Amino acid sequence: MKGSLIKQHRKFKNMTLEELASGICSVSYLSKIEHDTMNASEEIYRLLGERLNIKLTDINQDFDEQIYEDLLNWHEASQMRDFSLMNELQNKCEEALNDNKNTELTNLYKIIEARHDMTKNRKPVPSRMLKELQDTYEDASNEFKFFFNKTIGVHHLFLSNLRESLQHFNLAKELMDKLPFHEGEIFFHLALAYSKTRSFVESTHYAFVALEMYTKSLHYSRMVDNYIIIAINYNSLGAHHIAEEYLLKVLKVAKHELPSSDKRRIYHNLGINYTNQEKYKKAYSYLLKAYEIDTKESMFKSSTIYLLALNRYHSGDIDLCWEYIQEGKEESQKHNFLKYQHKFFILSHMVMEKTSDVDFIKKLEEEIIPDFRKLNEYKDYKEFVEMLADLYYDKRMYKKAAMYYKEANDYRETQKKDLL
């Protein structure tokens, strides 16, 4: 076990076998130590430890079941977003591992710590920590690899790298079959990632699998998450009445259990649902309810403001539409949300009836549509490719119009080529 500890820390410090072995032992001898095929003398361990700045003599390397259980509980607390318990268990595990240098437990601590930080900070894994985890992967246990792929899948979701996130989540699902436990979160993450790629059949399948598991464990927050994913999928498939039923069901059944953040998401998605049904009055009432609930998720806030502006445009309330557009522009520029900068730009030109201007068409074709494709925003990509086709058709540029109508119809193939 000391060998794997030596190898791990050598990699963390970007040292070659030659650099570590120099003046202490031969490279071949160090290689055997690292692979735990040979036990070195206490003196060799002491010298290697000094060079790596770690202790390798008189250390406890036993696999401690209590520490292991605490690590799993810590990970579960991160899934539940129980910040107080997360901090308590992190401190407990850190203190226990000061006296225990078991490599497997230390590795699990590092990957669960990465998940802990992402859950608290809502940011991807820092590059230095990511490299350290990647260097650990090759020689790690299946359990570490499972947690690694699950955590790094979430990391890529934060970065909107949907192809990479799906690869990691599917690997985690395969690894879970080799482990003595099964959990619903990996299916929830698969449902979420597939929904973002607009693969609604796959997403709905995994959402129902996750929902069944969360229902058994009475994890109400994640039950709500999966109901919302299912509703979003049905909405996107045009089954608006089914989506409406799911959202109203959650709102009714869990009304007094729902935190304000979940209520906001349901109100927001009901606003989308009624907008799709062209029931603008109902849509506006739910969007206003969402808007009035404060959120730290700035992207979510920009989305609600955009929907309110679009709603007022369709309802003919142009003055209020402009107010929302101005607020949305400021919000999207403040946080550098390119997606909403583009959407408010397009809506502004729709209100001013200037979508036929040459400069608008040029920007739509050469900048906005390619950006939506790069951002993996295929719903918007399809919508604005169709807009471009309509604009060329109105200008009697039928060849270009036909090309873009075809691209809009084939957008699923474009999406699969980009993502899957």
The structural domains of the chain, with segments of one domain joined by +, span 2-52, 184-258, 259-329+340-348
Q: Report long-range pairs for 72-80 (Cβ below 8 Å, ≥24 apart).
A: 74/112, 74/116, 75/112, 75/115, 75/147, 78/112, 78/115, 78/116, 78/119, 79/183, 79/185, 79/222, 80/219, 80/221
The answer to whether 52 and 20 are in contact (CB under 8 A) is yes
pLDDT per residue as tens digits for the range 208-223: 999 999 988 888 888 8
pLDDT band at 197 (very low <50, low <70, confident <90, very high): confident
> How much is the pLDDT for 419?
52
What was the pLDDT predicted at 46?
A: 79
Identify the CA nearest to 181 among candidates 233, 236, 142: 142
388, burial (CB in 10 Å: exposed 0-12, middle 13-18, buried 19+): buried
Task: Considering the domain delimited by 2-52, tell me its CATH architecture.
Answer: Orthogonal Bundle (1.10)
The number of C-alpha atoms within 13 Å of 52 and in the hemisphere containing its C-beta is: 28
More confident residue, 136 or 340: 340
Q: What is the pLDDT of residues 154-165, one digit of tens each?
A: 999 999 888 899
CATH classification code of 184-258: 1.25.40
Residue 382 corresponds to which tokens in the numbers above? Answer: 């399809």
What is the reported pLDDT for 379?
Answer: 85
Fold of 259-329+340-348: 1.25.40
Q: DSSP secondary-structure letter at 254?
A: T
Tell me the average pLDDT of the chain.
90
> 3-state class of 314 per DSSP?
helix
* Topology agreement, domain 184-258 and domain 259-329+340-348: yes
Rg over CA atoms, the chain:
26
Q: Is residue 170's pLDDT more than 70? A: yes
% of the chain residues with pLDDT over 90: 62
Rounded-to-integer distance, Cα 127 and Cα 116, Å? 16
Q: Is the pLDDT score of 55 beyond 80?
A: no
Q: In the chain, what is the straight-line distance between the N-terminal and C-terminal CA atoms, in Å?
A: 39
Q: List, in sequence order, the alpha helices (H) in 159-219.
A: 162-176, 185-196, 200-217
CA distance 363 to 415: 22
Closest CA to 248 of 273, 223, 211, 217: 273
pLDDT of residue 411: 67
1-13 mean pLDDT: 73
Q: Any idea what DSSP says for residue 62?
A: -
pLDDT at 415 over 80: no
Q: Is 235:274 a contact under the CB 8 Å cutoff?
A: no
Which residues does 218 contact at the CB level (< 8 Å), separation at least 6?
none
Out of 103-107, 240-244, 409-413, give the one with best mean pLDDT: 240-244
